[in-house]
Structure 1
Amino acid sequence: MLAAAHPPAVDLGIALLVQAAMTMPFVVPRPPDLEPATWTAYGLTTLTVIPLIWRRRAPVAVLLAIMATSALYKLAVEGPGQPLPYTGLVIVYTIAALSPPWKRLTTGALLVVAVPVSVWLNTRSARELTFSLFVFAAAYVFGRLTDARQRATRVEAERAAARERARIAREMHDILSHAVSLMVVQAEAGPVAVRAAPERAEAAFDAISATGRDAMAQLRRMLGVLREGDEPGTPDAPRAPQPDLRNLPELVERVRDSGLDITYRTAGGVRALPSATGATVYRIVQEALTNVVKHAGATTAAVRLTHEAGVLEIVVSDDGKGPRRGAPVGSGGHGLVGIRERAAAHGGSAVSGPGPDGRGFEVRVELPVASAVEGAR
């Protein structure tokens, strides 16, 4: 988190940490047969560390600078050695983690030459050569693993964002489609009712108003949650609960006001459900009833919820015209696709097609639910 938010501060901190590690041989007393460490040698050590501040912006240039200053330290002064090539390891890790392939290949080629030369200038031993190659290879491998982990994190974040966009799209579709469908039905019936039964016209206009206000409230709540935290200092959006099973009678009543004779029944006991599952059940019923109002030309409809053996079955049926001739069973627009997606998100299934007697249309959804203690609703 800190590295993503303040990279320059992290790079400065790494440089200071490396400087502290490379200072240790200068403060530890040297054997009497060796000359004491000088400020010149320490200054060259610091000069080797300073380029790490720009390790992200120009990694290959930093590598070349470190190689040059390290060679100068080895050839020009008599200073204490370091137990590990700290600066070289840091820049090799950085290049492996952040740089494109051509920079990594360039780094490999430079190390193939620089490591044996450095060993030859120091101890000329196979042991040091083997150790140096091992630690630089380890730094490179750790850098590649970091890059792979970051790539996987980005891919997962993109997939999560795509799932969230799909979820929001379904919510927006369900809210708007349901509200607009009921308002259109009421508005079309209004002129007829004005002439034949003025009291029914008033009820139709009240239903249009109530449906519009409910849709606006749901959209405002959803958009408020999306905006939450975008602007510093703004108050948090209200987090009203999502609709669930308790709101189904109100939904049915609102659809009944559009002129559709609709019944709502439950069987097997009404159980307490997790909030996400309850919201999914509500949206499935809402979308199925929206399809009835928009497309079925039905006069009656029925909603039935059956909870048994860890499965909640949702059935919405009507006596309308059913699917058009030649259309495959289960085909449909975004509404039926959204119902199937909602069911699949909870490990369930959804099918749709003609009713049991071949008349009308039926949507049947099965959701696995926990066999929780029956709760009063």
Structure 2
Amino acid sequence: MALLDRLRALPPALVDVLLTVAVLAAQLAPFTSADPEWPIALLLPVLAATLPVLLRRRFPFTVMFVVMAAIPFYDIVGNGPNQPIWYGWLVAVYTVAYQSPSSHRLVTIVVTAVGTLMQSVSVDTYVRGLATWVAAYALGRVAALTKQQSLALRERAMRLERERELAAERAAQHERARIARDMHDILAHAVSLMVVQAESGPLAVRTRPERAEAAFDAIAASGRDAMGQLRRMLGLLKEPEGSRDPQPTLDRIPELVGRVAQATLTETGTPLPLSHDVEVAAYRIIQESLTNVVKHAGAGAAEVRLVWEQDALRVTVTDDGRGPRQGQVGGQGLIGIRERATACGGDASFGLAPSGRGFQVSVRLPRGHAEVAG
């Protein structure tokens, strides 16, 4: 196998030169043991049936006919030593079978069958010559089909590799978009709470010092939580295969709601095991909704409601603030909420609260494929 690989690595022109020399040596071999008085003219048809092999790649069809036409002259010139096999002819037939179009191959089959019959002096000679020709032709076709199959497999492998690269790129883009949404939610929520608490702090210091202390504690807690979540997100960027387990899920929703003074949490129904992605989505949706309450709603109260349905979790966040403005279609935060819900196979809706005042976010998240411990 290593020898074949080395031969394939040689330049085609050098291979043809070496092949021609080998064929010529094989055709001249009978002269070494024959009567030295054979006429020198016998070498002319031998050369004519051998040297065209040098051009077999460029003119395979023509070379085959030239070699075939030269062979009969060996018997016409004189009685020379017996040539058991005309190797140049076999090489030419192999080359036609390997690289010529089907029309040339068909002509080759017909002409070779007739020519072999005309030059044969007996049935045995004809059968032997025809069998030799068929073997050369079959080897050429096998080599051609093997090459085609190899090229097809190589193209398929390249196509699969391109598809894998595209899939990996799409996955990376999706991951980057997810991380960008998470970082937006983390920063927007934390900064909004910190701004609200900081604005109320000076007033509370003068009137109710205990509330000022609570405000400063809330600012510190929001900052620490944001820093922790950001570190985890940046860790995912540095380690793509890292675990997502540290991301906040349902068990941290009470803590999230508790940091917003005007928000309360209500839960009804029997909790279901949810997939990790759905839990993260629920947390981020509530986080973004509460951020909107703090930043935009001007609400005095907000309610976060978790309703467990048969195969899904419904999350609603309702406030008594200003409500949707005329023609409002939703900012980036609401778009992010809808994208998170859709990514989990759920849906989201926004609009005026049922009470007729304020704003409501309603999201339905299917349970997904929950991971079962053990």
* Distance in 2 of aligned mates of 1:273 and 1:142: 43
Q: Is the 8 A contact 2:306 2:313 kept in 1?
A: yes
* Distance in 2 of aligned mates of 1:214 and 1:320: 27
Instruction: State the secondary structure of the residue aligned to 1:255.
Output: coil
**Offset of residue 135 of structure 1:** 2.4
- Counterparts in 2 of 1:369 and 1:228: CA distance versus 1, 3 Å: closer
Structure 2: runs of 5+ lacking an equivalent: 25-54, 65-87, 94-132
In structure 2, what is the equivalent of residue 41 of structure 1? Answer: none
In structure 2, what is the equivalent of residue 19 of structure 1? Answer: 2
Instruction: State the secondary structure of the residue aligned to 1:221.
Output: helix
1:67-118 deviation digits (Å, cap 9, x = unpaired): 1232133112369xxxxxxxxxxxxxxxxxxxxxxxxxxxxxx998477669
Match of 1:224 among 227, 230, 235: 235
* Distance in 2 of aligned mates of 1:238 and 1:157: 18
- Counterparts in 2 of 1:239 and 1:245: CA distance versus 1, 3 Å: closer
* Distance in 2 of aligned mates of 1:282 and 1:189: 26
Give the structure-2-normalised TM-score. Answer: 0.67
State the one-letter code of the partner of 1:251: L
Q: Is the 8 A contact 2:277 2:344 kept in 1?
A: no
Instruction: State the secondary structure of the residue aligned to 1:185.
Output: helix
Q: Is the 8 A contact 1:221 1:238 kept in 2?
A: no
Structure 1: runs of 5+ lacking an equivalent: 1-17, 23-44, 52-64, 80-109, 230-235
Identify the range of structure 1 (333-342 vs 116-125) with the bigger mean alpha-carbon deviation.
116-125
Q: Is the 8 A contact 1:242 1:275 kept in 2?
A: no
1:27-77 deviation digits (Å, cap 9, x = unpaired): xxxxxxxxxxxxxxxxxx84x34x4xxxxxxxxxxxxx5312321331123
Q: Is the 8 A contact 1:224 1:238 kept in 2?
A: no
- Counterparts in 2 of 1:244 and 1:114: CA distance versus 1, 3 Å: farther
1:242-297 deviation digits (Å, cap 9, x = unpaired): 211111111111112xxx2x221111112232222211111111111111111100
- Counterparts in 2 of 1:213 and 1:372: CA distance versus 1, 3 Å: closer
Aligned CA-pair RMSD? 3.1
* Distance in 2 of aligned mates of 1:343 and 1:268: 20
State the one-letter code of the partner of 1:140: L
Q: Is the 8 A contact 1:310 1:371 kept in 2?
A: no
* Distance in 2 of aligned mates of 1:120 and 1:295: 90
2:143 is aligned with 1:143: no
In structure 2, what is the equivalent of residue 324 of structure 1? Answer: 325
Q: Is the 8 A contact 2:197 2:216 kept in 1?
A: yes
**Offset of residue 237 of structure 1:** 7.9
* Distance in 2 of aligned mates of 1:305 and 1:221: 26
Match of 2:360 among 359, 362, 374: 362
In structure 1, what is the equivalent of residue 342 of structure 2? Answer: 344
Question: Once the two structures are aligned, what percentage of the paired residues are identical?
Answer: 48
Number of residues paired by the alignment? 277
2:285 is aligned with 1:284: yes
**Offset of residue 198 of structure 1:** 2.0
Match of 2:22 among 62, 77, 93: 77
**Offset of residue 209 of structure 1:** 1.0
State the one-letter code of the partner of 2:91: N
Instruction: State the secondary structure of the residue aligned to 2:304.
Output: strand
In structure 2, what is the equivalent of residue 245 of structure 1? Answer: 250
